[in-house]
Amino acid sequence: MNHLFIVTKRELSSYFVTQLAYVFILMFLILSGVFTFYIGDLYERGQADLRPFFGFHPWLYLFLVPAISMRLWSEERKSGTIELLMTLPMTRSSIVLGKFLAAWLFTGLALTLTFPLWITVNYLGNPDNGTILASYIGSWFMAGGFIAVGSCMSALSKSQVIAFILSAVVCLLFIMAGFPMVLDIFEAWVPLRVLDGIASLSFLSHFQAISKGVLSLGDILYFISVIAAFLLATVVVVELKQAN
Amino acid sequence: MIEISHLGKKFGDAEAVINLNLNLVPGEILGFLGPNGAGKSTTMKMLTGFMNPSSGHVKIFGHDVMSDRIEAQKLIGYLPEGAPAYEEMTTQSYLGFIAEVRGFSGLEKKKRVEEVIVKMSLDKVVHQKIETLSKGFKRRVGLAQAIIHDPIVLILDEPTDGLDPNQKHQVRSLIKSLSKEKIVVISTHILEEVTAVCNRVIIISEGKLLSDCSPHELEKKSAFYGAVSIEFHVDVDLNAVSDALISLSEVDKVQVADGLLTVYPVATAKLYTVLYNFFHQNGMFESKKPTAMYLEKGKLDDVFRQITQGDAA
């Protein structure tokens, strides 16, 4: 537990020592603003809510989260610090979890810093703040899913570029799993139950419910299991790499 | 103690380490020699639990590094090859991080960090980011993190690589000053380092253990060991001197070079005394006026080549 905290603290502070944190937060805020106001037509809709804002989150995360997660392991492997880290008396799981938590807390911070949007809609009208809070929590859990996928992909490769591309592609598959264009491919020859299974793997179908303000335990559990599964996979990959 | 039994590592078909058996007891400073790619770093990675062996076991004071990894790692201080560190951190925050992981907090952590900063003379770079440090400082930061918890086992992969002579001296003094109850393993391909700090030397090549003895015994394996060199002014006819010396029963052979005679002894002859007396009795100190006469130590370079390449030195 103590080691988990130490690893998280070190990772998190390294985001801020390098310029990564500031660039990421700035980009996240600018892009979420652009998406919300220009593409999402926040004003034109004439409704005081943040649905256009949250609706774009899966796409925003698709390329911003891998930019954070790609360095989790690749950088350690490239610079050789992995050897230092792995020979310190800590369990692999506390290292994997610590790194994940740092990235997750960091995206949580970026998400929190979008609060001016929340103030704006409250100024303009009377939004359902419960819905907005639920969406924020849901979005954060979805970001956790993206990071866990990214962590696993980063553990696979020494190259951050490869880690980025792999995570973006795998995350895209997770988003698209609920899309008609993916489901149509399977529809003709796959039993309905399997089709439901594929669709239920989608980040999007789980997130869409959340972004409408329905924070069901099932959706949160879904993201928690994605996180758990990919972190477990990360531990396995890290252990396997150690054998070679 | 460290027990290494039947240790082996394969990368695909290539065998990096083959059936290595070795026991180390406290007080031993082991020099780990071998050509590049001999399997030194691989062995160290397995000793420290970074890499899993393909076969065999390593036990650190009874703790198996595979099945009881964390307990084993608590006893070890390790400087990996190239002294990697989190470069974006400052010396102080980096050492603080290592101290925390090693289980120190509060005042004890502060004390430990301050101690290694003094020990490794890092006080000038405490608040500097590691990426801005010179190679020598980086290496010392790496050593500082390895000794911060005063480990009973210290494993250093090329600790003086890239350091200038003063820094090398400093690192060697540090290693020698460590308590007698420790086990220190140093890999290097700098042979002088071995005679300077180690009391046991092993040589591996192509993954196999080829030699295991003290540095002194290793020197003895050199053909040079016990030879005497005599320097003359260039105008002295050395062939005449050489002919005179070769007739001595203690002399095996004589090598002639520009103004220099190197006389090799037979077996265990004490050649220096023999030659000194011979020169004295024949008045050669006056007639030939040698400028210097000295006993050669073994040349480790020769022994190293001889053992790792199978060449005659």
User: pLDDT for A163-216, tens place per residue?
Assistant: 999 999 999 988 888 777 777 777 777 788 887 777 778 888 888 877 777 778
The answer to whether residue A92 neighbours chain B at the CB level (below 8 Å) is no
pLDDT in tens, B23-54: 999 999 999 988 888 889 999 999 999 999 99
Q: Residue A120: CB partners within 8 Å, gap ≥ 6?
A: none
The answer to whether residue A236 neighbours chain B at the CB level (below 8 Å) is no
pLDDT at A234: 96
Tell me whether residues A87 and B49 touch, CB distance under 8 A.
Answer: yes
pLDDT at A188: 77
Q: Picking from A43-57, A144-158, B264-278, B289-303, which range would have the lowest pLDDT averaged per residue?
A: A43-57
For chain B, list the domains and their CATH numbers: 2-220 (3.40.50.300), 228-296 (3.30.70)
DSSP characters for A52-107? HHHHTHHHHHHHHHHHHHTHHHHHHHHHSHHHHHHTSS--HHHHHHHHHHHHHHHH
> From the CB of residue B206, how many other CB atoms can be counted at a distance below 10 Å?
16
Q: What is the C-alpha to C-alpha distance for residues B287 and B279, in angstroms, rounded to an integer?
A: 10
pLDDT at B172: 87
Burial class (CB in 10 A: 0-12, 13-18, 19+), B30: buried
Q: Picking from A13-17, A41-45, A108-112, A237-241, which range would have the lowest pLDDT averaged per residue?
A: A41-45
Backbone angles phi, psi at B255, to 5 degrees: -110, 135
Tell me whether residues B48 and A79 touch, CB distance under 8 A.
Answer: no
Q: Per this entry, what is the length of chain A? A: 244
Tell me the ipTM for this assembly.
0.88
pLDDT, mean of residues B184-203: 87
**Chain A contact set for B93 (CB, 8 A):** 13
Among B71, B76, B82, select the one facing A80 at the smallest CB separation. Answer: B82
Rg (CA), chain B: 24
pLDDT at B312: 42
Tell me whether residues A10 and B74 touch, CB distance under 8 A.
Answer: no
pLDDT at A131: 85
| Angle of the A57-69 helix axis to the A160-176 helix axis, nearest 10 | 150
**Chain A contact set for B100 (CB, 8 A):** 6
**What percent of chain A stands above pLDDT 70?**
97
Tell me whether residues B102 and A89 touch, CB distance under 8 A.
Answer: yes
pLDDT of B311 above 60? no
What SS3 class is residue B299?
coil
Tell me the count of A-B CB pairs closer than 8 A. 62
Question: How close, in Å, is residue A221 to chain B by CA atoms?
Answer: 32
Q: What is the C-alpha to C-alpha distance for residues A231 and A97, in angstroms, rounded to an integer?
A: 7
pLDDT of A77 above 50? yes
Per-residue confidence at B243, pLDDT binned at 50, 70, 90?
confident
